[in-house]
Amino acid sequence: MQIHEVLQSIATPLGGGAYPRGPYRFVGREYLNITYRTDPEALRAVVPEPLEVADPLVRFEVIRMPDSSGLGDYTESGQVLRVKYQGQDVDYVHSMFLDNGPAISGGREASAYPKKLGRPRLFVDSDTLVGTLDYGSLRVATATMGFKHAVMDPEEARAEIAIPTLMLKLMPGYDGKPRIAELVRTEIQDLTIRGAWTGPARLELHAHALAPLSDLPVREIVSSSHILTDLSLPPAELVHDYLAG
């Protein structure tokens, strides 16, 4: 393989890359979101500058993705933090756990999603929408919401998930020092809200050394949503380089 052919590849191994080139289209993407207020100091401890914390809001989400172009069928869960960047409200992705190798590799390498292997589930149990997250064999989160108790305004649902999203990309060099240290930005495109509901919700987080969701404890449930969508994820773009200068 010649050098120019190597440079045209986006992922290893050559000849069978771990993930295909994006952008990625998601059909029938289903969210369970529970937004809660946590301890301000706990939140500030994990939010990198130049992002700022105002109201200490965290969104725990479980996302079912049965039809993801190039990536297949998987489920994802994690925590998203509402912060400010240059005076604008944005979401900062703090942690993501999922059960799909290409999505983990592509999310980390081609973008900056903080993805780790986990076992999330989203399902209906009688009259309850349930989202769970296991890390290894241990349960680290359980979310419950009344199933379709009240219709949610589609524009409110759109605003909840389509806000600009920032992520931290860290990659070491071979000397152990940072080679890439960046904040990047992405924003959902071509979004269709197929249905949206709200209802009573509860969230339980369990302590775990390597999946420390409970480090951002639940102090008050603020809102909950169940949203069905089709959408696209474009490539991320650089907004802040920590190593510049």
Catalytic residues: 115
Q: In one letter, which amino acid is 63?
A: I
All residues at 6 or more sequence positions from 35 whose CB lies less than 8 Å from its CB, including other chains: 57, 58, 59, 60, 82, 221, 222, 223, 224
d(Cα 130, Cα 23) in Å, to the nearest integer? 30
Task: Please choose, from the candidates 184, 179, 244, 218, the residue with its C-alpha nearest in 3D space to the C-alpha of residue 60.
Answer: 218
Neighbours of 66 (CB within 10 A): 13
- Asked if the peptide bond before residue 23 counts as cis, ω within 30 degrees of 0, the response is yes
